[in-house]
Amino acid sequence: MKVFLDLGWFFKERKKQYIFGIIMLMVVALLQLLPPKIIGYVVDEIRLGALTSETLFKVLLLLAGAALAMYTIRYYWRMLIFGSAILLARQLRERLFRHFTRMSPRFYQKRRVGDLMAHATNDLSAVQQTAGAGVLTLVDSVTTGSFVIAAMAITIDWKLTLIALIPMPIMAYLTNYYGKQLHNRFHFAQEAFSNLNDKTQESISGIKVIKTFGQEKEDIQDFVKLSDDVVEKNIHVAKVDSLFDPTISAIVGVSFFLSIVFGARFIIAGDMTIGDLIAFTAYLGLLVWPMLAFGWLFNIVERGRASYDRIRTLLAEPVDIDDAEHALDVKAQGDLDVHIDEFKFPDDERNALHNVHFTLKRGETLGIVGKTGSGKTAILKLLLREFEGYNGTITYGGYSINAYKKERLRSAIGYVPQDHFLFSTTVAGNIAFTNTSALLEDVYEASRLAHIHEDILKFTNGYDTIVGERGVSLSGGQKQRIAIARALMMKPELLILDDSLSAVDARTEEAILESLKAFRSDETTIITAHRLSAIQHAHQIIVLHEGTIVEKGSHKELMERQGRYYEMYQLQQLEALVEMGGEA
């Protein structure tokens, strides 16, 4: 029952609705006591030959009135209690979603998408059940149960009531025992569901790779294995779940048996009338629901607790990169000063970066080159505050990047990552992602700068063509350029192209770079690339090797130096020559 205490904050918030709902439930519980009593009274009146049609009419009217009142009240308590439970699910869903959006990439590195989705669906619905059906079964089992027992003991016979209740402690013990079993089993079932969810998500996202490598059979086998696991764990739950109803029915049956045996003896002894025994057994019939509710209560609450614990654990994960207390709420702009003495990725022993020092003046372009894995993206991730925990300082416009509000820092940076992602919406929607109210003219301008405008016009529906998961397939180069146009839409102070020209041909690359040079002369640009032609015109180039800067300077300076950059350049020239069939 601890979950009710844990959800106390919500019950407080919806105090009025829950109090009214519970009062209504109690009124229904009281009204339910009327029919058995009336039936007992009518039977005794018939037996004594004293029933008049006038009394019968009054009694029927009373029964109809009680039925109508119960009908109406039942409708309203449902609206109040179940309606509130839906709001709880909404609140938790929003909280989870906000939490997800605040988490750093490290969180997503640890957690699987399918698991997160399971929290936001299955677990939420179990908690919603607790705040709705859980409250109902708790109130009903306690109030209806105690009202019926009190009516039996006070208005009929307390001795027979005690006899009828003899099997109850056994029921309480058993439901408690089942509840504990259920809690653990349900936890495992939810985990299995998370795994299956994750597998489904990954298989659908990676379907092209699976098909390309002809791995459908293996993938189906993996899926079936996980699906079987879900079935097995849920059967495990169902095995306990299914014990509740038969146990309760058996115990109610024993109660009925004891009541009839001893009730008959009381009637023979003249301590009770037949009408009383009929009313008593009718009350006993009314006890079936509270007892079932009691069983369900354990069932619902244990599921709810397991799920709420999972959600709370997720929500309790601290936001590792957050705004400082009095974070700067100003536009981030100016010179960039990077001094990284040492940086390791979380849970990694190796230095990803060390002794990386450079200054980039506002309006300049920096090119970063280096072998794959040399740390190019790592520098960018630190600039974007995706990771922290490095020794050193990074300042932008004279302030540490940590001093800015994250939102202010990021809104100054237009980042085009290597693994760009297009949403399932129109081309225009994808480009205007950061500014949905942007003018179409601005979208066109950004597209022209990214040299994708002409391509888009050739799509079937032009800028209204749906792309992304549910849309048309675009070439790698088209996707890259749409991602560049999206970043340019922000008119960023700092544009970062992380190997974002790798899929476009040399001529388009040159055209894009020319446009950037012409239209972004006052703003800063960082370009990482394998192809040196992409960074050749940069004001400053740094060459990374194993996480550190081994050469720094302009293209001309680096060529004169005849070091690593020079070697890379010669090699790429040779490759280009070979590609052209040896003709200069």
Least distance (Å) from ligand ATP to the CB of residue 375? 4
Rounded (5°) CA angle 249-255-261: 135
Round to whole Å and give the CA distance between 194 and 122: 9
Least distance (Å) from ligand ATP to the CB of residue 378? 3
For ligand ATP, the closer of residues 185 and 376 by Cβ is: 376
For ligand ATP, the closer of residues 234 and 377 by Cβ is: 377
Under rule CB under 6 A, residue 579 binds ligand ATP: no
For ligand ATP, the closer of residues 124 and 495 by Cβ is: 495
Rounded (5°) CA angle 352-390-410: 100
Least distance (Å) from ligand ATP to the CB of residue 535? 13
3-state secondary structure of 376: helix
Segment near ligand ATP (CB under 6 A), from 54-62, 170-178, 368-376, 424-432?
368-376
Segment near ligand ATP (CB under 6 A), from 156-164, 202-210, 332-340, 366-374?
366-374
The two tokens of residue 548 are 């550190």
What residues between 406 and 435 interact with ligand ATP by CB under 6 A? 418
Under rule CB under 6 A, residue 375 binds ligand ATP: yes
Task: Name the nearest CA neighbour of 536 among 578, 503, 504, 565.
Answer: 565
Q: Which one of residues 373, 389, 462, 476 is an interface residue with ligand ATP (CB under 6 A)?
A: 373
Round to whole Å and give the CA distance between 163 and 144: 19
The two tokens of residue 322 are 């957050």
Q: Return contacts of 283-287, CB within 8 angstroms, 24+ apart.
A: 283/33, 283/36, 283/148, 283/151, 283/152, 283/156, 284/152, 284/164, 284/252, 284/255, 284/256, 284/259, 285/36, 286/32, 286/33, 286/36, 286/144, 286/148, 287/145, 287/148, 287/149, 287/252, 287/255
**Start-to-end C-alpha separation, the chain:** 81
Least distance (Å) from ligand ATP to the CB of residue 349? 10
Least distance (Å) from ligand ATP to the CB of residue 389? 12
The CA distances from residue 40 to 150, 277, 280, 281, in Å, are 16, 8, 8, 10
Q: How many Cβ atoms are within 10 Å of 530's Cβ, its own excluded?
A: 16
> For tokens 């006038």, what's the residue?
54
The site map against ligand ATP for 314-353 (x = CB under 6 A) is -------------------------------x--x---x-
Q: Which one of residues 38, 192, 240, 378 is an interface residue with ligand ATP (CB under 6 A)?
A: 378
Least distance (Å) from ligand ATP to the CB of residue 377? 3
Under rule CB under 6 A, residue 374 binds ligand ATP: yes
Least distance (Å) from ligand ATP to the CB of residue 342? 13
Q: Which one of residues 21, 35, 290, 370 is an interface residue with ligand ATP (CB under 6 A)?
A: 370
For ligand ATP, the closer of residues 283 and 390 by Cβ is: 390
For ligand ATP, the closer of residues 317 and 329 by Cβ is: 317
Segment near ligand ATP (CB under 6 A), from 207-215, 281-289, 369-377, 428-436?
369-377
Q: How many Cβ atoms are within 10 Å of 337's Cβ, its own excluded?
A: 17
The CA distances from residue 223 to 57, 120, 165, 201, 512, in Å, are 66, 22, 50, 11, 45
Under rule CB under 6 A, residue 212 binds ligand ATP: no
Under rule CB under 6 A, residue 376 binds ligand ATP: yes
Least distance (Å) from ligand ATP to the CB of residue 368? 8
Rounded (5°) CA angle 522-525-530: 150
Number of residues that bind ligand ATP (CB under 6 A): 14
For ligand ATP, the closer of residues 346 and 462 by Cβ is: 346
HEC string for 428-449:
HHHHCCCCCCCCHHHHHHHHHH
What residues between 495 and 554 interact with ligand ATP by CB under 6 A? 499
Under rule CB under 6 A, residue 101 binds ligand ATP: no
Q: Kindly state the helix (H) or strand (E) to which residue 411 belongs, with its residue range.
A: helix 406-411
Rounded (5°) CA angle 330-335-336: 95
105 phi and psi, to 5 degrees?
Answer: -55, -25
The CA distances from residue 99 to 16, 313, 387, 421, 475, in Å, are 29, 12, 17, 21, 34
For ligand ATP, the closer of residues 281 and 374 by Cβ is: 374
What residues between 35 and 54 interact with ligand ATP by CB under 6 A? none
Segment near ligand ATP (CB under 6 A), from 82-90, 372-380, 401-409, 423-431?
372-380
For ligand ATP, the closer of residues 327 and 550 by Cβ is: 550
For ligand ATP, the closer of residues 183 and 376 by Cβ is: 376
For ligand ATP, the closer of residues 136 and 379 by Cβ is: 379
Type of residue found at 44: D
For ligand ATP, the closer of residues 201 and 418 by Cβ is: 418
Least distance (Å) from ligand ATP to the CB of residue 482? 20
Binding site for ligand ATP (CB under 6 A): 109, 345, 348, 352, 370, 372-378, 418, 499
